Amino acid sequence: MRWLLASLLFLSASTPLLAETIVYVSVADERKIAAYRMAGDGKLTHLRDTKVPGQAAALTTDPARKFLFASLREEGKLASFRIDPKTGGLTAVSVIPAGADPAQLSTDRKGKFLFTAYYVAAKVTVHKIGPNGELNEKPDQEIATAEKAHAIMADATNRFVFVPHTGPNAIFQFRLDADTGRLTPAKPAKIERGKDTGPRHLVFHPTKEIAYVVNEQGGSVTSYTFEGGKLEPIQTLSTLPSDYHGTIACAEIRIHPTGKFLYAANRGHESLAMFAIDGAGKLSSLGREPTESNPRSFDIDPSGKFLYAAGESSGKLACYRIDAKSGKLTRFATPEVGKTPWWVMAVELPGK
């Protein structure tokens, strides 16, 4: 009996506890960020709401998940929060003026700098992230680009940064100094896309030098190679049925952690387009799954088992299971989350 008890104590001490996943939802018109605990079966339990001084929109975290950053689009501000590693609770750190309509933000791969793209101010900024998550009011760098800058993302090597613009149908390309956070134009400084394409958001394949960009007005996804930091389009597939003639307004794009599946949101058609990715990174359509109205944002949990999509117009969150073999989605719940949910982000806490 003593041996058994000692063995159990050893196992409990040596086996790490599974970290919890918190799903954060920015609820724009209620000026809050709602936090939900994700259970093992994907079901969500509301934990708390964090009030923010503005219309909370885009969310991101640093790679260590110590801090959460939010854009306040209507107010033209950026906010930072400290994440409680045990509960997922948010503590406000700083709110700074930034520029008109910060549409999307991300950090570099080391979590030292915050990048922001501005839809109306037509620029990008770089802010150094302080040791406690604080942001200085003056950015370390500000670069004029063009109208409707809609996303900004560093590649896995932390050497290149790409900025899709829906207005001029272009993707700006930068080289990144990972030590200073400084951006310099790559060669070429941007790639032009076809009229009414509208490159909006992008993701990178986890193991290949391939980027996938969702095209807002084009109703499609384009894959690119980016060897040496230069994007080269290799494939474009529609996100919509061939017989669809309604509103076209693609929004978010996400890639499965395994790199086997890709998903894109269709506003207007009110669906999530599903794609398989083969060994060479090539896409093939898996069809579409109905979702809530105006799906501006969605995210995949870090385990790759569940997908959560916000219905901006319905105020609900569509919760899906992801089939590990086929990549297909099955909805299992649709909870109310509040008025105008704009962003969804599933974050695995660092651990207890």
> Tell me, what's the pLDDT at 19?
74
**Biggest CA pair distance of the chain:** 75
- The beta strands (E) that lie in 108-260 are given as 113-118, 123-128, 141-144, 153-154, 160-165, 170-176, 183-192, 199-204, 210-215, 220-225, 232-238, 249-255
Please check whether residue 51 is in contact with residue 40, taking contact to mean a CB–CB distance below 8 angstroms. Answer: no
Least Cα distance to 70 among 208, 62, 318, 78 occurs for 78
CA distance 152 to 295: 20
Domain total of the chain: 1
Q: Helix, strand, or coil here: 232?
A: strand
201 forms beta bridges with 214
Strand order in the sheet with 153-154: 153-154, 160-165, 170-176, 183-192
Structure token digits, residue 115: 């990048």
What string of H, E and C letters represents the secondary structure of 243-300?
CCCCCCEEEEEEECCCCCEEEEEEECCCEEEEEEECCCCCEEEEEEEECCCCCCEEEE
Please check whether residue 127 is in contact with residue 78, taking contact to mean a CB–CB distance below 8 angstroms. Answer: yes
Least Cα distance to 201 among 103, 290, 273, 130 occurs for 103
CA distance 180 to 118: 21
| Residue 69 covered by a domain | yes
Residue type, 256: H
| Residue 82 covered by a domain | yes
Burial of 342 (0-12, 13-18, 19+ CB in 10 A): buried
| Residue 156 covered by a domain | yes
| Residue 210 covered by a domain | no
**Predicted confidence pLDDT, tens digits, the chain (352 residues):** 333 333 333 333 333 445 799 999 999 999 999 999 999 999 999 999 999 999 999 999 999 999 999 999 999 999 999 999 999 999 999 999 999 999 999 999 999 999 999 999 999 999 999 999 999 999 999 999 999 999 999 999 999 999 999 999 999 999 999 999 999 999 999 999 999 999 999 999 999 999 999 999 999 999 999 988 899 999 999 999 999 999 999 999 999 999 999 999 999 999 999 999 999 999 999 999 999 999 999 999 999 999 999 999 999 999 999 999 999 999 999 999 999 999 999 999 987 5
The dihedrals phi and psi of 99, each to the nearest 5 degrees, come to 155, 165
Burial of 92 (0-12, 13-18, 19+ CB in 10 A): middle
> Tell me, what's the pLDDT at 199?
98
Number of other residues whose CB lies within 10 A of the CB of residue 14:
7
pTM of the model: 0.94
CATH number of the domain residue 131 falls in: 2.130.10.10
The dihedrals phi and psi of 312, each to the nearest 5 degrees, come to -60, -40
| Residue 161 covered by a domain | yes
Structure token digits, residue 76: 């033209």
| Residue 15 covered by a domain | no
> Tell me, what's the pLDDT at 18?
52
CA distance 287 to 273: 6
| Residue 77 covered by a domain | yes
| Residue 144 covered by a domain | yes
Q: Helix, strand, or coil here: 9?
A: helix
Please check whether residue 200 is in contact with residue 164, taking contact to mean a CB–CB distance below 8 angstroms. Answer: yes
CA–CA distances in Å: residue 142 to residues 98, 100, 117, 126, 172: 10, 13, 10, 7, 14
Where in the sequence is the domain holding 125, given as residue range(s)?
52-192
